[in-house]
Amino acid sequence: MDETTPKSQIVPAASPPASEKTVLHLVMPHVLDTLKREPALAFTLAYLLVALAGIYFNVSYYDEFGIPILTLSQISDYLVAGLQRPMALLLALSTFPLVWGIDLLNARRRRRDAVRREELVKRGSPKGWDRVRMRWYARPRWVAGCGYLIIVFFYGWLFVSKYAHLEAKDVRQGRADQVHIGLNAPDASPPGVDLSQPVVYLGAVTNYVFVYDPRSKRSAALPVNNISRIEPIDSEPRDQ
């Protein structure tokens, strides 16, 4: 073989230019590097997301019955709010494909904006409204990142509020579990709620149990120290 013949070389694939990279494409490597250095941070962030979803649900759900849940809750109740609601996990998991889809749409829009900006440049020195449009087409990526956060929080609040409304609707229509509540002082029933009859168990926090009377359509917060027993209706013993 002639030594002057150039040798074949393997040309590495070029990475996409920065102008074609999406927001997630630029951010994710830094996020993954951080999580590799601090693995516990991933569990902490996931737990916080689930806890926030649980708190959002509690606020929306109990507000349907006029119960000020934030005032009656302790710090420990906030920490376990998401663990008591399976939908909080569904919300956390559905957030990731949502952000991914938004990022793809944003990348497609940025490519169209780049073409429009080039068309404005070819016209000559832009003035007035064209100058504003050029700045918008060349907007920094942190603007899109802030938009992602706003959309995620809005989506989470809308998702949770709708789910809480449906749960409350089932309670009012009688499609909820009922219980017998026994009090240490039988004559200490709250006004408008007849605890001698079955009531709907809405939930509980550290110091209170929340019930709903389907007959009077009123709710009540019962102090835990005043409750002697909570007995499910039509409970059947499990087969041994």
At 240 the pLDDT is 43
- Are 224 and 207 in contact by the 8 Å Cβ rule? The answer is yes
Q: At 179, list the tokens.
A: 């219980």
For residue 22, the number of C-alpha atoms closer than 13 Å in the C-beta half-sphere is 15
CA distance readout (Å), 212 to 55, 77, 201: 20, 20, 7
Q: At 10, list the tokens.
A: 């393997």
Q: At 87, list the tokens.
A: 């939908």
Report d(CA 171, CA 231) in Å as an integer: 18
At 39 the pLDDT is 77
- Are 23 and 34 in contact by the 8 Å Cβ rule? The answer is no
Q: Taking the CA atoms of 171, 173, 176 and 179 in sequence, report the sign of the dihedral they define.
A: positive
Nearest to 50 by CA among 89, 97, 90: 89
Report d(CA 11, CA 197) in Å as an integer: 80
Report d(CA 138, CA 19) in Å as an integer: 10
User: pLDDT tens track of the chain, all 240 residues?
Assistant: 455 545 544 444 444 444 455 666 666 666 667 767 777 887 888 788 788 888 888 999 999 999 999 999 998 898 888 777 777 667 767 777 777 777 777 777 777 777 777 776 777 666 667 666 666 666 666 667 777 778 777 877 788 888 889 999 999 988 888 999 988 886 777 888 888 889 999 999 999 999 999 988 999 999 999 998 899 886 444 444
Nearest to 228 by CA among 191, 192, 195, 193: 195
Residues 230, 233, 239: CA angle, nearest 5 degrees: 100
Q: At 3, list the tokens.
A: 């030594």
